C-alpha cells in the first residue's frame, strides 16, 4: 500500500509538470491589427461573458492548429479590451467572424464550426461574398474615426465602473460627473476655436475699413435710389394706363350715346309716320282716287306723342328685365 501511494505521488507531480500546449490563436490589439493587411487571415470578435463565444472557443482553437496546413493565420479580438477595433470593424453582434485577404475584408456569416471554417477556406467560398469596400473598409478614414469614438466610449465605461464598483460611488453621481465634464469640455473646445479664429484672422487697416464702409453706404444709397426710381416709373405707367382706360371708356360711352340717339330718332320717325298714315286713312275716302297724295310733315305734337310712347316702351322693357 505504501509503495502504491508513493507511485501515485510520483506520477502526479510528473503530470503536473507537463506544460499545456500553447494556443495558436493570435490576440489582436490596436497596435498590431495592421498585420491582417498582409496575407490571409480569419478573425473572431468575442467577449468573455458571451455564452455563444465560449461555445466556439474549442472549434476556433482546432481551426488555428490547422492554420499551417490551410496556409492561413487565425486571430481573435476581445471587444471589452479593444473597443476601438470593434468600432473599426463595426461589430454589432457576437461572435463575429471576418476573413481578410491582402487587405480586403469580408464578413463570414456561417457557423463557427471547424468543418465549415475549413471548407470556407479550401473551397474559397469567400470569393462569392461581397467585400467591405469604400467607407465600410476597416482601413478607411471613416472607420478610423469610428474606432476613435468606440475607444473613447470604452474608456468612459471603464471609468464609470471604477467610480461605481471600485470607489462605491452611486451611479447617479457618476452620471452627473459625466454631464458636467461634457459641458466643460464643450466650452473649452468653443474657446479654443475662438482663439484659433482670432489668430488666423487678419484685421483690415483703419483707412481701408472706413473706405469700405463708405463704399458700402454709397452702394446702399444707390440701390435705394434705383428702387425709388423703379417704383416711380411703375406708378407713372399705372397712371398712364388708367388715363388711357378712362379715355377709352368715355369714347365708348359717347359712341353708345350717339347710337342710342340715332335709334331714338329712327323710332320717332317711324311712330310719326304711323300717325300720319292713320290720319290719312280717317280722311275722306273719296280723295283716295287721286293720282298722288302729298305726305304731310309731322307736327310737334306728333313728335311728343311718339317720344312718350317710346319712353313707355323702354320703361316696360326695363321692368321686365328687373
- DSSP H helical segments within 126-170, as ranges? 141-161
Among the options 47, 53, 100, 271, which is catalytic? Answer: 53
Query: Which residue is associated with the grid cell 447617479?
Result: 172
Contact 98, 42 (CB under 8 A): yes
Main-chain phi, psi angles of 100, to 5 degrees:
-130, 130
Euclidean distance between CA atoms 154 and 139, whole angstroms: 20
**Catalytic residue status for 199:** no
Measuring CA to CA, which residue among 90, 123, 93 is closest to residue 109? 93
* Burial (Cβ within 10 Å: 0-12, 13-18, ≥19) of residue 62: middle
Task: Tell me which H or E stretch contains 26.
Answer: strand 26-27
Beta bridge partners of 77: 45
**Catalytic residue status for 173:** no
With both helix axes pointing from N to C terminus, report the angle between 206-282 and 300-321 in degrees, rounded to the nearest 10.
120
Cell numbers linked to 305 = 306723342
Among the options 35, 37, 50, 169, which is catalytic? Answer: 50
Measuring CA to CA, which residue among 17, 16, 37 is closest to residue 88? 37
Active-site positions?
A: 50, 53
Amino acid at each position: 500500500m505504501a509503495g502504491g501511494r508513493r507511485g501515485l505521488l510520483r506520477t502526479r507531480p510528473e503530470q503536473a509538470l507537463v506544460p499545456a500546449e500553447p494556443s495558436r490563436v493570435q490576440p489582436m490589439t490596436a497596435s498590431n491589427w495592421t498585420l491582417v493587411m498582409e496575407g490571409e487571415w480569419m478573425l473572431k470578435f468575442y467577449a468573455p461573458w458571451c455564452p455563444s463565444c465560449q461555445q466556439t472557443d474549442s472549434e476556433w482553437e482546432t481551426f488555428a492548429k490547422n492554420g499551417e496546413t490551410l496556409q492561413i493565420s487565425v486571430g481573435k479580438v476581445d471587444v471589452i479590451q479593444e473597443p476601438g477595433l470593434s468600432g473599426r470593424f463595426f461589430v454589432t453582434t457576437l461572435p463575429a467572424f471576418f476573413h481578410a485577404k491582402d487587405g480586403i475584408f469580408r464578413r463570414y456569416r456561417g457557423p463557427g464550426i471547424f468543418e465549415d471554417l475549413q471548407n470556407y477556406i479550401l473551397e474559397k467560398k469567400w470569393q462569392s461574398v461581397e467585400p467591405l469596400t469604400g467607407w465600410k473598409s476597416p482601413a478607411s478614414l471613416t472607420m478610423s474615426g469610428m474606432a476613435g469614438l468606440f475607444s473613447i466610449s470604452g474608456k468612459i465605461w471603464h471609468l464609470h465602473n471604477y467610480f461605481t464598483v471600485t470607489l462605491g460611488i452611486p451611479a447617479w453621481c457618476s452620471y452627473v460627473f459625466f454631464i458636467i465634464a461634457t459641458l466643460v469640455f464643450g466650452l473649452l473646445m468653443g474657446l479654443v476655436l475662438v482663439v484659433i479664429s482670432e489668430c488666423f484672422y487678419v484685421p483690415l487697416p483703419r483707412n481701408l475699413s472706413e473706405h469700405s464702409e463708405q463704399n458700402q453706404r454709397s452702394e446702399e444709397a444707390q440701390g435705394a435710389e434705383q428702387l425709388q426710381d423703379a417704383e416711380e416709373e411703375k406708378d407713372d405707367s399705372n397712371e398712364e394706363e388708367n388715363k388711357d382706360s378712362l379715355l377709352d371708356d368715355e369714347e365708348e360711352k359717347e359712341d353708345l350715346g350717339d347710337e342710342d340717339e340715332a335709334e331714338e330718332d329712327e323710332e320717332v320717325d317711324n311712330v310719326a309716320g304711323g300717325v300720319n298714315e292713320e290720319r290719312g286713312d280717317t280722311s275722306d275716302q273719296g280723295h283716295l282716287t287721286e293720282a298722288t297724295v302729298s305726305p304731310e310733315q309731322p307736327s310737334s305734337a306728333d313728335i311728343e306723342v311718339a317720344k312718350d310712347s317710346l319712353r313707355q316702351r323702354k320703361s316696360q322693357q326695363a321692368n321686365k328685365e328687373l
